[in-house]
Structure 1
C-alpha cells in the first residue's frame, strides 16, 4: 500500500468546513474565558459583601484564569466532554488555595486576602461549573441541529467502521459527523451501504477525499495492513491539509481518564489503568448512596404511602413486590418494588414467551404485557414502581447507580465475562437505564454495564444521576 505526500496536498480551501470549525472553537474558548472570569468576579463580590474587602475582586479573576490555563481546561480535547472538563476545573480549584498560600507567604503577608481567596473558591467552582454545563448543553443543541460539527472521514475495515458508526449514532448529539468512508477491504462494501454512508473509495483515495469534501477530521480504525509506515504517511497527509488525525484503539469502552501515554525509547505506548474497585475507593460512593437515599425516603414517604394505597385498591395483592435478585459478588438479596402485575404473573410467563422483546438475550420484557395492572402500567412508564428500591440503597444491598439487578436464573447463564457485572452493587439507575432501558438489545445492555464497571468514578455516577431525570420524564424504554 503506497500513500504519497505531494505539493498539491498543501492546498487548503480558505472557506472549508475545517476553517469554519476552528473559528467556532476560538469563539467558544473566548466565551469560556469570559464565563470563568465572570464566575471568579461574582464569587469575589460575594466575599466582598460578606467581609467588606475589595482586594479579592482584583486578585481572584486573573488567578482563577491562570489556574484554569495551568490545568488545561480550555484544551481542544476537552471541549464538550463534560466529565473530563469538569475534572480539570476542579483540579484548578484545588490549586487555587495553594496559589493563595504561596502568594501570602512570599509577597502580600495579608491574612485578610489569604482568607478571602480561600473562601471564594467554593462559590467560584459552583458558578464556573454551572456556566460550563450551560455552555456544553448549548453546544450539544447546536450539534443536534447539524451546526459546528466536524466533517469526518472513516478509514479502515468494514467491520470496525460498522461498530464505530453504531456507537456514534447511539450516543446522541456529538461533534463528529461522518461524511464518508474509505475502506481497506472494498470487497465488503455492502455492509457500509446498509448504514447509508457514502463509500468514497479505498485508502489510497484518502487525500483526494480531504480536498473534495473539506474534511476536518479523519478517524483511522485498526486493520492488519495498516503498519507503522502506512499510519505515519496517513498522519502526514492529514497534517499538511490541517485535518485532525484520530487513531481508534483496538480496545474500546475505556474512559479517557484511564488512558495515559508512556514513551518508551521513542515509542508512545498507551497505558490503561486498571479499574479501581477497592473497598476504600468506594467509601465516598457508599456514603453518598445511603445518605441521599435516606433523604429521598424522608421527602417521598407520603407519596409512597399514597402509591401503596392506590396499588392495593386497584387490584388484589400486596402493595410491595419482593423478588430475589443477585447483588455484588453474587450475594442474593430481596429487591423491593411497587407491585405492577397480577398475583399470578409468574404462572403466565411461559404463555407469553413468544412475545418477549429481548429474545436475543436473558431478559424477559413484553410490550403491552397483559399481566400488568392499570395502575401498574402508569407506575412502570413513570418509573415510580422503582421508588421502594431506595430502601435497598439505605440497607446497602443496592446503589443509586449501578448495573441492573439480575435474577438468579439469569446469573446462572452468565459467561465469565458477563459475571464482571457482579463486581459492583446493582443500582436504581445506570448506563443501561439512561441509554434506552428495555429498548436496548441484550448485547448492548451488557456492554454498557461492563463499561460502567471498568470506568466507574464519582463523576460518572453524578452524570448518570443528572441524566436519569430527563430519561424518566421522556419515559424512554419504560414498559
Structure 2
C-alpha cells in the first residue's frame, strides 16, 4: 500500500490556498462578526440607558470582537457544535472584565469605564448567545436540506465504516458530513459497502484520486490494523495537498467531545478519555432541579391530572393509576406510577400476544395495536400523558426527569454485565431512548443510547434532552 505525495502536488497546494473553503462558511463568519458587533452595541446602549455614559459605546464593540477572536469564536471547526460555540463566547465574556481591569490599572484609571465594561459583559454575552442559537438552528435546517454539507470520504475497514454510517444516519437533525464515497482498507469486503448505497472509490491507494474526483472537503479515517503512524502521516499529507480536512475517528464510539482531551507526552499527542462523573456531589444540582421542577409541574397539572383520572375510571373498570415494580439506581426497587391504559387482565393476556412482540430482538415487550389497550389508553400513550404520574416518583426521589427507561425486575435479571451499567443513574421520565424513537428502536439501539447517556451525562445533556422531549411527544414516534 503506497500513497504518493509529489513535489508538484505541493506546488499546487501553495497556489490555491483555501480553494475548498465553502462560501457558506465565509458568510457564517461574517454574520457572526456583524452580530457580535451589534450585540456589543446593544449592550452599550443598555449601559447608557441605565448610567447615562457613552464612553463604553466606543470601547466595547471592538474589545468584544477581539475577545471573541482570541477565544476562536469564529473558528469554522466550532460552527454548529452548540455547546462548544457557547463555551467560547462565555470564555470571552469572562476575559472581558479582566481585560478592562488591566486597562483601568495601567492606562485610564477611569473607574466609571471599568464599571461599565464589567456590567456590559452580561447583556453582551446574552445577546451573543441568542444570536448563535438562532444561527445554529438555521444551520441545522440548511444541513437537513442537504445544503452546505461537507463532502466526506470515509477511509478504513468495511465493518467500521458500516457502523459509522449507521451512527451518522440515525443522528437527529441535519448533519454536517455528507458521505460522498468510501476507500476500503479491505476491498474484499466491498459487498458490505454496496449494501449501504454509497459509492466505493477503491482502496487506500486511490485516496488522492477519490478526493479530487468527488470534490471532497473532509476525510474521515477509521482505525485499521494496517494503519500505522507512517501510513496515517502520508494519508494526512494527501488530504492536505487537496485542501481537505483530515479527521481520525476514535476507537471508542459514543464518547462525548467534552470527555476527550489531547495530552502531549514526550512529544506524543495522547488522547485522554475522562471517566464519567457520577458522584453524588456532581449530581446534586440535577437532584435539586429534578425535584423542584417536578413539584412545580405537579402543582400546575394537578387539575388536568384529576380530570384524566376520572376519564380513565369512566372509560373502563379498574383503578385510574397503574402501579408496577421497577428497578431504579443501584438496583433498588420502587413502585412506578402511570395512568392505566390497559384492561385489568392485561398481564394474563401477555403470553397470547408474545408472537406479536415488536422487540423480539431484546427484552422489551411492545405490540403495535395492542388489543389490551383501552380507547382512552391509546390516546394517553400517543400523547405521553400516561407518564404524568411519574412526576410523583421524581419528587419522591425514585426517578429523575431525564434518564434511562425504568426497567422491570425480570428484565434486569437477564441483563449482561455491561448493560447493568445503566443502573448507575436513576431512571428517567424522558431520555435519549424516548426522544430518539422509543418503541420503534431495536433493543441494541436502546441499550446503546442508555449506556451513552450514563457515560456522557452532564447538565447540558439533560437540558438538551428536555428541549427535544416536546417535539418527540408531538410527533408520537414509537408511542404505542
Q: Distance in 2 between matches of 1:8 and 1:367?
A: 62
Taking structure 1 as the reference length, the TM-score comes to 0.95
**In the alignment, which residue of structure 1 is the partner of 2:338?**
337
Shift of 1:475: 1.3
Query: TM-score scaled by structure 2?
Result: 0.95
Which residue in 2 is equivalent to 1:204? 205
Identify if the C-alpha distance between structure 1 residues 270 and 373 changes in structure 2 by more than 3 Å, giving closer, same or farther.
Answer: same
Distance 2:54 2:286 in 1: 39
Compared with structure 1, are the counterparts of its residues 56 and 325 closer, same or farther at alpha carbon in structure 2 (3 Å cutoff)? Answer: farther
Q: Which residue of 2 aligns with 1:36?
A: 36
Deviation for aligned residue 1:12: 6.4
Could you report, residue by residue, the CA deviation over 1:49-105 in whole angstroms, capped at 9, with x for unpaired residues? Answer: 233332333333233323322322222221101122222222333333333444444
Structural RMSD (CA) = 2.0
Q: Summarize deviations over 1:31-66 as a string: whole Å, max 9, x none.
A: 112222222222332233233332333333233323
Mean Cα displacement is larger for which, 241-250 or 117-126? 117-126
2: CA distance, partners of 1:120 / 1:321: 53
Give the Cα–Cα distance (whole angstroms) in 2 for the partners of residues 139 and 194 of structure 1.
Answer: 30
Total equivalences in the alignment: 477
Matched residues in 1 for 2:43 and 2:257: separation? 31
Is residue 332 of structure 2 the alignment partner of residue 312 of structure 1? no
Aligned to 1:473: 474
Number of the residue aligned with 1:407 = 408
Partners in 2 of 1:21 and 1:432 — Cα distance?
37
> d(CA) in 2 for partners of 1:352 and 1:4?
62
Report the counterpart of residue 83 of structure 1 in structure 2: 83
Deviation sequence 1:287-335 (CA, Å, 0-9, x none) = 2111122222222222222222211211112222111111111111111
Q: Distance in 2 between matches of 1:188 and 1:330?
A: 43
State the partner residue of 2:97.
97
Gap change, CA 1:245 and 1:319, over 3 Å in 2: same
Q: Describe the SS at the equivalent of 2:22.
A: helix
Q: 1:393 touches 1:400 (CA, 8 Å); kept in 2?
A: yes
Is 1:436–1:477's contact at 8 Å kept on the other side of the alignment? yes
Cα distance change of structure 1 residues 21 and 306 upon mapping to structure 2, 3 Å threshold:
farther
1:427-464 residue CA offsets vs partner (Å, 9 max, x unmatched): 11111111111111111111111111111111111111
Counterpart-to-counterpart distance in 2, 1:67 and 1:340: 56
Stretch deviating more after TM superposition (90-99 or 361-370): 90-99
What SS does the aligned partner of 1:477 have? coil
Q: CA deviation at 1:20?
A: 5.7
Please list the CA deviations of residues 257-299 of structure 1 after superposition, one character each: whole Å capped at 9, or x if unmatched.
1111111222111111111111111111112111122222222
Contact 1:154 / 1:161 at 8 angstroms: preserved in 2? yes
Q: How far off its partner does 1:114 sit?
A: 3.5
Q: Counterparts of 2:395 and 2:333 in 1: how far apart (Å)?
A: 16
Match for residue 122 of structure 2?
122
Q: Distance in 1 between matches of 2:415 and 2:444?
A: 12
Map of 1:47 onto structure 2: 47
Give the Cα–Cα distance (whole angstroms) in 2 for the partners of residues 425 and 58 of structure 1: 51
Gapped regions of structure 2 (runs ≥ 5): none
CA distance in 1, matches of 2:443, 2:108: 62
CA change 1:313–1:52 in 2 (3 A) is farther
- SS in structure 2 of the partner of residue 363 of structure 1: coil
